[in-house]
Amino acid sequence: MKAYFKKYRRYIIGGQFFKLAEAILELLVPLIVAGLINRLGAGTDKADILRSGALMLGIGIIGFACALICQYSAAKTSESMGRDLRNDLFRIILDLPPEAYGAQSVEALVVRLTADVEKVQIFTAMLIRLFVRAPFLFAGAFIMCFILNPALSLIILAAILMILFAAVLLLRRVPAGFRRIQENEEEAALHIREHVSGITTIRSLQMEEAEIDRFTKGQAKRTELSTSIGTRTGLVEPAVQWILYMGNAATLVFGAALIQRGIILKGTVVAYFNYLTAITVVSVVIIQLLPVLMQGMAAMRRINEVLALRTEVVQGAGLPDMDGKTVWLVQGLSYRYSDKAASAVSDLNLHIKQGEHIGIIGGTGSGKSTLLHLLCGRYTPTNGTISFYEADPSGFSSSVRARCIAFCLQRGKPNTGTLDENIAMGNPTANPGERLAAARLAGLDELLATDGMDHPICAEGNNLSGGQKQRVMLARTLVRTAPVYCFDDAFSALDGRTAERVVRGVHAYLKGKTLLLTAQRIRTVRHCDRILVLSEGRAVACDTHERLMKNCALYQRLAAAEQAVRDA
């Protein structure tokens, strides 16, 4: 966050300077009024009154101009900083590897990008407008009171000490409470997302009441926390006002006594009460600023957690030299999702040449998707090395990775728009003929037969079947231009005949390009040049379909099980 404040330090310092100038001018007004009142008793003339009035008017105009400049600086800085923060956070989030979501959940990242940035904006605006003015005005007013009459100032000093004691007593647990509220909001966002994505399952299992009860309990906890913090912060302001009003009453009593004895003049008492009023108002403002300060600091800490990922992710390696014959060289590769988890991939060696079509097959949990993510640099290996065109793929930024590898996920979701717009996301420079060819290659004939490329698609493809969603994502990948294509079980939602027809077309279309294809069905990978068989993260065999059918027992069992399902 320091870099963002440094970037706009000119506006921050300038705004604070003009706000400080306004505060100084505000402190001068009671002195002018006091002098005028004191001189009235000595028979001051009309010209003196006009001069004092003109002086105060001039101070008011200059103060107004200073306030305008400060307000502009605060608005400019807070909005510009918010824009830069959102842009940078969004870029970092787009570059995050899947393994990073263990420490930063999707909901937490959304909160960082929205609510936390907004809190930082408010904090920045208040930093310029009030965080300098309020303490300075408070201290300046007290000093002026002390100059006017040291004895009376002891009353104000006692009131200030009582205010500090009350603030510490009531607000000491507020920062921790704000953090707990933030965590509760993230939990609520996670619950809502889980509920929306799993609404069909929830209804089919008749779990609506259980989900409502779960959500209600979470909101009750948040309400309890918010009520506790609101009560504590709400009590501070009346406590401060009560203490200051008691100080005012004591000052009035002792001030009247000093006037009767001739120790102090009436104008001085008027000025003293003006400063006392300023202290009262500023004290309330400071108390109101404390929650903003606490929330802003907490938000900046959370944003820093995401910004800390910038060095590892955004500042990645450049585009590798892709003229070599070896695409991937994997040696002793192992990976585990956490220190306590079992290895998802263990001691794997692999050599993939330019233009090869490699299939990866195995049962559920065998490590197919994990291996594919490792090869594409989305995960960082626990042990071993991966060379992608003689470079480390884990050091690539998302833009470099996208130029090297066209990646199709198993559960990708289309966006709101037309079929043509969704396919164009894969390659905005592709012409209409190329987008149409990709749609036909992906087997989207039934959509093309109704509305053509203008077929409407709802949010997340909710008006499409599972197989149609998968084929839209497949077309989006095929329309891209890259030396390497990776399909992570991207044909699993297609029926057997459609999958085999589309896969044959993909092999023909990507002839000469490097292709990696993971699947659970042999008929999806049987046409690959080589097929890597995985079991519990280990490579069992890597050969052609024909040789594996003769020499690999695990592959034979997979083929037999698939045939049994097909016959049934």
Q: How many angstroms separate the CA atoms of 520 and 366, rounded?
A: 10
For 33-49, give one letter per residue: b (16+ CB within 10 A) or e: bbbbbbeeeeebeeeee
The per-residue DSSP string of 246-306 comes to HHHHHHHHHHHHHHHTTSS-HHHHHHHHHHHHHHHHHHHHHHHHHHHHHHHHHHHHHHHHH
List, in order, residues 6 or more apart from 563 with CB less than 8 Å away: none
Q: What 8-state DSSP symbol labels residue 358?
A: E
Cβ–Cβ under 8 Å, residues 457 and 419: yes
Q: How many angstroms separate the CA atoms of 66 and 95, rounded?
A: 43
Question: Count of CB atoms within 10 A of residue 307's CB?
Answer: 19
Q: How many angstroms separate the CA atoms of 272 and 149, rounded?
A: 8
Which residue type sits at 363? G
- Write out the two tokens for 119: 């809190």
Backbone dihedral angles phi then psi of residue 486, each to the nearest 5 degrees: -125, 130
Q: How many angstroms separate the CA atoms of 179 and 374, rounded?
A: 35
Q: How many angstroms separate the CA atoms of 28 and 58, rounded?
A: 12
Cβ–Cβ under 8 Å, residues 393 and 310: no
CA 527 to chain centre: 43
Q: How many angstroms separate the CA atoms of 408 and 474, rounded?
A: 6
pLDDT of residue 322: 63
Positions of the chain with pLDDT lower than 50, given as ranges = 311, 313-317
For 141-161, give one letter per residue: b (16+ CB within 10 A) or e: bbebbbebbeebbebbeebbe
Cα distances (Å, whole numbers) of residue 162 to 146, 155, 158, 243, 282: 18, 11, 6, 7, 16
Which residue do the tokens 């692999």 mark? 350
pLDDT of residue 314: 44
Cα distances (Å, whole numbers) of residue 279 to 27, 83, 139, 283, 376: 11, 36, 8, 6, 63
Cβ–Cβ under 8 Å, residues 69 and 15: yes
CA 328 to chain centre: 34
Cα distances (Å, whole numbers) of residue 355 to 190, 485, 510: 43, 10, 9
pLDDT digits (tens, 9 = 90+) for 442-477: 888 888 888 888 998 888 788 888 888 888 999 999
Cβ–Cβ under 8 Å, residues 70 and 128: yes
pLDDT of residue 149: 78
pLDDT of residue 163: 79
pLDDT of residue 315: 46
| C-alpha count within 13 angstroms, C-beta hemisphere, residue 349 | 2
CA 19 to chain centre: 32
Number of helices and strands in the chain (H, E):
22, 11
CA quadruple 200, 201, 203, 207: dihedral, nearest 10: -150
Give the DSSP H or E segment for 346: strand 345-353
Which residue do the tokens 């090395």 mark? 385
Q: How many angstroms separate the CA atoms of 260 and 398, rounded?
A: 80
pLDDT digits (tens, 9 = 90+) for 35-46: 777 777 555 677
Q: What 8-state DSSP symbol labels residue 538?
A: E
